[in-house]
Structure 1
Amino acid sequence: MMGAEISEKSKRKAKEELGETDESRERCLSELKVHSNVTAPYGGSVQPSEDKDLIKFLRARKFDVQKAADLFRSYHTKRLVLHDFSQLQSSSTYKDYLKTLAHNWGNYIAVLDRPDTQGRRIVICRESSSFQSSACADANRPSTLWFFLILDWLLETCKDMQVNGIVVITDMKDFSLSQFQWLLTHPGALKERITSIQDGVPMRIKCIRIANEPMIFSMVYALVSPFLKQKLRQRIKTVSTRYEEIYKVLDGSNNENNDWKNIMPKSVGGKVSWSELTESTVQNVLDYYLQFDSI
């Protein structure tokens, strides 16, 4: 059964927080499979509608079938218009383009191997590596596709995360005025990045902490906030260089901050180099996707 793919602890949380039981799961999956949003073609073809493909949409929307169906539609429509996504749909370009994405944008995101005390996976983004201020919009847009692929990889390889969600740590170290100016002049690319992840991925984003924010952060946030849903805005908190606040989020009341420092990047008070973390993430992501011939 689908519920057997997650741990007993996650099953209990799914029941308490999402209303997931054997009965509700079976009923909602049956309803979702025949919903017009699921049976409709996207990009000229009908998408997989097996239980393992649909359950993540139900969990992301607390088993509200209509909301899950809307998310399914948003996921497939937004994915199709991500820059160069078509390169991943063709077996002739798929593997080479994956490697190109990893080479160009692998320094942007790191995913820790260890979940936090609530079972949430930890995604760290270094915003200064997410785009080049001298580039045109289309040259920077593939970074959003890389982020999308990483979250998809997590959903497929860590089923418990469909219940527990993720913690996002945004590290703004070295974020420059020229990068702010680029965002200011490319609002469409900024909107695509935010809404593709927020509205298109069946992911429970439980907490966002922003570290090392520059003096211009208030202006950056003024650009970003109109695209954020209220619930997500409420989960954002800046910590500047008070890195212990990040460790409290991850560790709860276990008082094991030193253990976290051993696996966190130096830029947020840890002991590991950023390159070591991103190289590990890139390798894990490529190992997963290179099993296939296309998406």
Structure 2
Amino acid sequence: MERIWKIEGEFMRNPDLRLEDVREIREWLQTQQHIPHISEFEIVLFLHSNYYELEATKMTIEHYYTCRTSYKEFFSNLDLNSKGLLQAHEAITLTVLPNPTPEGYRIIFGRLNNTDPSKFNLAHCIKLFFLFVDALLLEEGTIEGLVLAFDMTGAQIGHVFKLGLFTVKHGLHYIQEGFPIRMKQIHFFNLVSFIDKILAIVRPFMKQSLWDILYLDPKIEDTYDCIPPDVFPTDYPGGTALSVRELHEISYKNLFKYQNYFYEAERSKVTDENLRDKKSKWWF
């Protein structure tokens, strides 16, 4: 992941970021022959997401590349014109809202675009979400934190049957163990009556730390306790951002700026398992 603007800016705005820590991670990586080359910017992202704890950073790097190697349903066929990603774009709206929270957290907003369960493929939608996260990091570098706000309007019981267990397990594993970003809040609002059935599927794969930042908001007004209303699209009370329809089209088109990066990531951000030390503590 190469940053749009220079790495020096990261040291200026992150006083806890130390060059010595970057060097230590670089030296450790030289002993991990199965992990591909990692840029200095990527090391900074991993350090920042782990609050500069070195051992936690190493584990996140290991999980990041192992997940991207193993979970083909999310990290292969990253062509934005592919059938799967176009299907995801048709099924859901995902967008980074223009304005952050008062704490500086960036918000990825989501909502069903097509409410027909037959059009919904969870793996493709998670893949699209991960591409939005990658694009956000490329554009902005380290950020205070990430908030996911998903409107459940239009969800049907048929969607529950599309929540494959392995897809849920793999997606949550990557988010909890390999995400190079600080996950701060997850909001599901305008809840549906069968939310308990969804929770029964996802809860077994969630660590307590992720469960603790999950907010189940019956109405969007409950979400406003954490996220100011003005950051939302104009479709919502008090919202001042563009409409959901406008954001739906603009945001997907914006991803095409990074298509070459996505191609390269698919090729290079994988481990070489033939070089992994099976006796290492990093083998899992």
Aligned to 2:227: 250
Q: Report the AA paired with residue 99 of structure 2.
A: R
Residue of structure 2 in register with 1:151 after alignment: 133
Deviations along 1:16-58, one digit per CA (max 9) or x if unpaired, are: xxxx14xxx211111111225873325xxx2x32311211001
Query: Which residue among 223, 233, 236 is the counterpart of 1:264?
Result: 233
Does residue 172 of structure 1 match 2:152? yes
For the structure 1 residues 140 and 268, does the alpha-carbon distance in structure 2 shift closer, same or farther, using more than 3 Å as the test?
Answer: farther
Which one of the candidate residues 74, 91, 94 is aligned to 1:109? 94
Q: Matched residue of 1:83: which SS? A: helix
Query: What is the identity percentage for the equivalent residue pairs of Structure 1 and Structure 2?
Result: 23
Q: Is the 8 A contact 1:211 1:268 kept in 2?
A: no
Give 1:113-192 correspondences, 5 Å limit: 113-126=98-111, 128=112, 133-134=117-118, 140-161=122-143, 164-183=144-163, 186-192=164-170
Answer whether contact 1:180 1:220 (CA < 8 A) is retained: yes
CA positional deviation for 1:188? 1.0
How many correspondences in the alignment?
A: 255
Determine whether 1:211 maps to 2:216: no
Alpha-carbon distance between aligned partners in 1 of 2:237 and 2:32, rounded to the nearest angstrom: 45
Deviations 1:94-129 (A, max 9, x none): xxx222255222234121122222211111122x46
Per-residue Cα deviation, 1:142-163 (whole angstroms, up to 9, x for no partner)? 22222111111111211241xx
The equivalent residue for 1:254 is none
Q: For the structure 1 residues 118 and 4, does the alpha-carbon distance in structure 2 shift closer, same or farther, using more than 3 Å as the test?
A: same
Which of the numbers 29, 49, 56 marks the counterpart of 1:67? Answer: 56
Supply the distance in 1 between the matched residues of 2:62 and 2:203 (Cα, whole angstroms): 24
TM-score normalised over the length of structure 2: 0.78
Partner Cα separation in structure 2 for residue 58 and residue 214 of structure 1: 38
1:202 maps onto 2:180 in alignment: yes
Residue identity opposite 2:222 in structure 1: E
Equivalent-residue separation in structure 2 for 1:192 and 1:30 (angstroms) = 31
Look up the SS of the partner of 1:49 in the other structure.
coil
2:73 is aligned to 83
Contact 1:38 1:49 in 2 (8 A): no
Structure 1 match to 2:268 = none
Which structure 2 residue ranges, 5 or more long, are not aligned? 1-5, 266-284
CA distance in 2, matches of 1:195, 1:130: 27
Whether 1:277 and 2:251 are equivalent positions in the alignment is no
Q: Which residue of 1 aligns with 2:279?
A: none
Shift, 1:133, TM fit: 4.2
Contact 1:211 1:239 in 2 (8 A): yes
Offset, 1:233 = 0.9
Q: Normalising by the residue count of structure 1, what TM-score does the alignment of the two structures yield? A: 0.75
Pairwise CA distance, 1:79:
1.5
2:218 maps to a residue whose letter is S
Q: How far 1:59 sits from its partner (Å)?
A: 0.7
The answer to whether the 8 A contact 2:48-2:142 is kept is: no
- Alpha carbons of structure 1 residues 33 and 130: separation in structure 2 relative to 1, 3 Å: farther
After TM superposition, give the deviation of residue 273 of structure 1 in Å.
3.4
Q: With CA pairs under 8 Å and 6+ residues apart, which has the higher RCO, 1 or 2?
A: 2
What is the CA distance between 1:200 and its match in structure 2? 2.1
